[in-house]
Structure 1
Amino acid sequence: MKNNILLVVNPVSGDLDKSELIAAVKAFAGQHNYILTIYSTTGNADIEEIKTLYERYKPERILVAGGDGTIKMVTEAMQNDNIIIGILPAGSANGLAVDLNLPETIAENLEIAFFNDYMEIDIICINGKKSIHLSDLGVNAEMIKNYEGSAIRGKLGYALQTLYTLADLNDPFVATISGDFPTVISEARMIVIANSQKYGTGISINPNGKMDDGKFELVILKNMDLLVLGKIIAGNIPLNVNDVEIISTNKAIITTNIPVSFQIDGEYCGMETRLEVKILPKQMKVAVPESQKIII
């Protein structure tokens, strides 16, 4: 229906109060004569509920107030429908919003989410699961597992768990990576499966990544001593093959000699020894700042 907007809110993402954000969306929608439907996720049959609401109201756009996991869930619900998604960053670490250069303020994001043009971005399929942003094996996934079990949320929680995880590092694992490139066998502390450039913290892990080029990057971090970590945090990822190797491809198989912690878009997925990875081009329409279609 014309002038219908569906807002999907994750009430627990980022441990943030969403009342101010919801009030701003309501006011903006009313000001521009939109009929607003609000759905709060519960963790129980959310995808089916979103599909039902979409079929009932046929909104022009779906706005998502949450983190990367919530955006991914809405994308999966809408995978067979031609719908533009507007992002209102409200997670612990809003990685996709960071990569899309979305602004800091609610007012600016509302303008973009409601009215701006969109870009079509790729999605990565990993063992049948969808990833819209960054997934990885190793240290960061272990940190996310620790974070999910911690009582301290937000960026402080991430920082503390990063320190705890690095202080308790296990031995590196050995990965074998094959695809349409020479097979790579390497020790690794972490392997990032990247559809974009930056984590939600702003740290650049894949400097040349593009979300609409039909490829993903495998960033193999072989060494994570303090010097390498310092360069990564400073936004200058080292490209010495002894420390970091980057493979750009559209499909790959990763196997490890031991089970390794694995995460997708900030959500811990358990231990894995084999990942089948492929790109799914042009799967998601997302509203972006005016300059973004040129940048990416």
Structure 2
Amino acid sequence: MKKHLFVINPVSGSANTHELLHDIDRHFSTSHTEFKILQTTGSNDAAAIQHALNTYLPDVVGVAGGDGSINMVAPLLISTGIPLGIIPSGSANGLAGEFGISMDNALQNILGERTRHLDVALINDRHYMLHMADLGLNASLVRRYEEENRSGFMGYAISAIQELPMLQRHFRVIITSGNSKTEFETNFLVIANTRMYGTGYEVNPVGKFDDQQVELCMMKPLSAELIINNLFLQNQPDRDSELFDIYSYQEVQIQSSTPIDFQSDGEYIGELTDLHIRVLSDQLRIVVPDQS
């Protein structure tokens, strides 16, 4: 009998936890599967999840929450062979959007257990990135968003507008891969494992989540209005006015002479001057819809 572990963030986004628990019971009580539910509390959650993995030994782990909840559970599943089922109940669900996962199909996906593998980027040999990381403008926005304890898309948009002065702060980076070394100046550098931010903006149209590469997307010099409208306010730009130059790497080093704000998968990490990025293939499997 298959065993499913559900990790639920009860305060994530606008999800109705009681309704979700009812739906899980309805789907899984009659499907000849066993299931266990663990609700996060904000205290020692990673240790509690690891304990459940070690003792319950699930075949599949479903996570209900936003990108933060996914980022807490996914590293615990890397190299275990246990698939991750995403239940996108948070206010930011960028990875779910990449796979076509919604609240309407999430539980049925987990029952079906169709999976795709997702490359994972290992940053500085200690931090796993699943979706998107960046230096500069957006990382500063994430820092402000966390410091001011905002929530939801409107809070994100307010923080974005307040970060407009960052558009004037350029930084210079040296990109090294093998014997190749290139220098760039920008105010926003995206490390993209997939195509889209949670807002729906396709920053990396050439991106594939299983091609053993990440893309470095360097923002071009552009107006504040174009950046805010296209990147943060969900209006897709014309192809003639793309915001980024894009380069693909399997392993790459990013160096800056000055500390720069850095965020990964929606979590602000801090100010960094050096990033070493290495792509690990077939480390994590994601449960996906039948048509994905």
RMSD of Structure 2 on Structure 1 (CA): 2.2
Q: Who is 1:30 aligned against?
A: 29
**1:234 aligned to 2:235?**
yes
Q: Does structure 2 conserve the Cα–Cα contact (< 8 Å) formed by 1:47 and 1:76? A: no
Take 1:237 and 1:190, find their aligned partners in 2: how far apart are those partners? 20
Q: Who is 2:77 aligned against?
A: 78
Q: Who is 1:136 aligned against?
A: 134
Q: Who is 1:258 aligned against?
A: 258
1:129 maps to amino acid: H
TM alignment of 1:37-116, pairs within 5 A: 37-105=36-104, 108-116=105-113
Deviations 1:128-186 (A, max 9, x none): 20011000001111111111122431111111111111255452111111113732212
Take 1:261 and 1:130, find their aligned partners in 2: how far apart are those partners? 17
Residue of structure 2 aligned with 1:125, choices 111, 122, 125: 122
TM alignment of 1:132-281, pairs within 5 A: 132-167=130-165, 169-180=167-178, 182-225=180-223, 226-227=225-226, 229-230=228-229, 232=231, 233-236=234-237, 244-281=244-281
Q: Who is 1:288 aligned against?
A: 288
SS of the residue 1:14 aligns to: coil
Q: Does structure 2 conserve the Cα–Cα contact (< 8 Å) formed by 1:223 and 1:244? A: no
Structure 1 residues 243-252 or 34-43, which shifts more?
34-43
Take 2:179 and 2:138, find their aligned partners in 1: how far apart are those partners? 26
Structure 1 residues 19-28 or 42-51, which shifts more?
42-51
Take 1:237 and 1:270, find their aligned partners in 2: how far apart are those partners? 33
Shift of 1:5: 1.1
Q: Give the 3 Å change call, closer, same or farther, for CA 126–15 of structure 1 in structure 2.
A: farther
Superposition TM-score, scaled by structure 1 size? 0.89
Take 2:291 and 2:40, find their aligned partners in 1: how far apart are those partners? 32
Shift of 1:53: 1.2
Q: Does structure 1 conserve the Cα–Cα contact (< 8 Å) formed by 2:68 and 2:265? A: yes
1:95 maps to amino acid: G
TM alignment of 1:9-24, pairs within 5 A: 9-14=8-13, 16-24=15-23
Take 2:252 and 2:66, find their aligned partners in 1: how far apart are those partners? 27
SS of the residue 1:13 aligns to: coil
SS of the residue 1:52 aligns to: helix
Take 1:129 and 1:151, find their aligned partners in 2: how far apart are those partners? 24
SS of the residue 1:31 aligns to: coil
Structure 1 residues 18-27 or 188-197, which shifts more?
18-27
Take 1:277 and 1:237, find their aligned partners in 2: how far apart are those partners? 31
Q: Does structure 1 conserve the Cα–Cα contact (< 8 Å) formed by 2:166 and 2:187? A: no
Q: Does structure 2 conserve the Cα–Cα contact (< 8 Å) formed by 1:121 and 1:281? A: yes
Question: How many residues were matched structurally?
Answer: 288
Deviations 1:275-296 (A, max 9, x none): 111101111111111222xxxx
1:261 maps to amino acid: D
Q: Does structure 2 conserve the Cα–Cα contact (< 8 Å) formed by 1:51 and 1:78? A: no
Structure 1 residues 33-42 or 90-99, which shifts more?
33-42
Structure 1 unmatched ranges of 5 or more? none
Superposition TM-score, scaled by structure 2 size? 0.91
SS of the residue 1:271 aligns to: strand
Take 2:173 and 2:220, find their aligned partners in 1: how far apart are those partners? 10
Shift of 1:17: 4.3
Take 1:285 and 1:213, find their aligned partners in 2: how far apart are those partners? 14
Take 1:165 and 1:19, find their aligned partners in 2: how far apart are those partners? 37
Take 1:209 and 1:168, find their aligned partners in 2: how far apart are those partners? 26
1:62 maps to amino acid: V
1:119 maps to amino acid: R
SS of the residue 1:208 aligns to: coil
Structure 2 unmatched ranges of 5 or more? none
